């Protein structure tokens, strides 16, 4: 069970996972040695990775969420399908879910032609087991940073479609390294890219100035937490968005082009919390909504 000190550590790492132990010590009032051991313990069960927040829209990419329904598929064929999706280079997020849909995945791509090629390949290999699928285009994504029950105001990071920036191949490699290991030391990164730590620091500052790197956070999960996703059909509604951003259980808000206009992802510890949020969403006179529960996260690779 987490104590207040652990929650403060998690909160600070959620705001900026690249902070040094010295910086964390000033904010949590804990000694370096204590912080080191507490973080190591949190990494065993709670913290899964340190993620650099990369604005993929600034690199010319777009996220494409897809819902897939399965039918008349054997366990062996389903395993082959999951393996195919997991190993596909365009798959950024892959989950098994329950509800009207069996698989929820997100592709990342620079072109519609790549998405069409992916869908053609999926149809050719597994089409007879997929009676229905829905594909969406994302226009804006907001991540709401977790407060870990500390009564802190939720901070947010928003990415949306915009004109891409030009970066070098070495900067692209740097982003790939940092994407899933934001706390990697500069000297270790410099060895991988065969340059000096000073050059790495300069490149990171440059990418931050271009708003390609917007910050960093932690990827966490808790044994008692259940994960849900709600797809919402509604007119443009600033008041609904404002409400969603205040809810502690909501961690992602995505504006979509497709059958639904919004999707939200939630972390729930009590079923009543989910029911309360759904009932409140209904008061905004939405057209329709659909709920799925996420049981197994197979792959997560935002960039």
Structure token pair of residue 294: 């996420």
Using CA atoms, how far apart are residues 116 and 118, in angstroms rounded to an integer? 5
pLDDT at residue number 252? 97
Give me the pLDDT at residue 154, please: 85
DSSP-assigned letter for residue 152: P
Domain extent listing, the chain: 1-45, 58-144+221-300
What backbone torsions phi and psi does residue 216 show, to the nearest 5 degrees?
Answer: -155, 165
Question: What's the CA gap between 273 and 283, in Å, rounded?
Answer: 16
CATH number for the 58-144+221-300 domain, one of 3.40.50.300, 3.30.70.100, 2.30.40.10, 3.40.50.150?
3.30.70.100
Return the CATH fold of 1-45: Arc Repressor Mutant, subunit A (1.10.10)
Closest Cα to residue 294, out of 248, 255, 263? 263
- Backbone angle region of 258, left / alpha / beta, with phi > 0 → left and psi within -120 to 50 → alpha: left
Read off the tokens for 259: 């059958």
C-alpha distances in Å from residue 18, one per residue of 30, 113, 122: 17, 37, 38
Pairing of strands 156-160, 91-98: unpaired
The partner residues of 291 in beta bridges, in order of sequence, read 230
DSSP state of 287: S
Q: Look up tokens 């100035």; give the residue.
A: 209
Return the pLDDT at 192.
Answer: 94
pLDDT digits 0-9 by tens, 201-224 = 999 999 999 999 999 999 998 988
pLDDT number for residue 1 = 79
pLDDT of 302 reads: 77
Three-state DSSP class for residue 68: strand
- Low-confidence residues of the chain: pLDDT under 70: none
Q: Which of 10, 295, 247 is nearest to 142 (CA)?
A: 247
Partners of residue 67 on adjacent β-strands? 104, 134
């Amino acid at each position: 069970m987490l104590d207040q000190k652990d929650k403060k550590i998690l909160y600070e790492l959620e705001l900026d996972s690249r902070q040094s132990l010295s910086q964390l010590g000033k904010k949590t009032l804990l000694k370096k040695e204590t912080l080191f051991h507490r973080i190591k313990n949190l990494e065993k069960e709670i913290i899964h990775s340190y993620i650099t927040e990369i604005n993929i829209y600034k690199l010319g990419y777009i996220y494409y969420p897809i819902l897939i329904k399965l039918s008349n598929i054997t366990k062996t064929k389903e395993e082959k399908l999951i393996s195919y999706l997991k190993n596909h280079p365009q798959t950024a997020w892959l989950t098994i879910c329950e509800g009207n849909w069996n698989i929820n995945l997100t592709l990342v791509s620079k072109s519609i032609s790549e998405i069409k090629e992916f869908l053609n390949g999926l149809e050719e290999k597994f089409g007879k087991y997929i009676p229905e699928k829905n594909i969406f285009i994302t226009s804006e994504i907001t991540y709401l940073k977790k407060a870990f029950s500390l009564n802190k105001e939720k901070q947010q990071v928003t990415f949306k479609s915009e004109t891409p920036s030009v970066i070098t191949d070495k900067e692209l490699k740097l982003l790939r390294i940092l994407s899933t290991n934001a706390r990697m030391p500069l000297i270790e990164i410099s060895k991988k890219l065969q340059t000096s730590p000073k050059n790495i620091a300069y490149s990171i500052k440059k990418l931050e100035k271009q708003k390609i790197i917007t910050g960093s956070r932690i990827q966490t999960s808790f044994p008692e937490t259940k994960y849900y996703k709600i797809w919402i059909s509604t007119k443009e509604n600033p008041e609904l968005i404002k409400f969603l951003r205040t809810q502690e259980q909501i961690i992602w808000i995505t504006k979509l082009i497709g059958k639904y206009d919004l999707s939200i992802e939630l972390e729930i510890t009590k079923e009543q919390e989910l029911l309360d949020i759904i009932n409140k969403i209904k008061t905004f006179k939405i057209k329709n909504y659909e709920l799925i529960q996420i049981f197994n996260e197979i792959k997560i690779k935002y960039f």
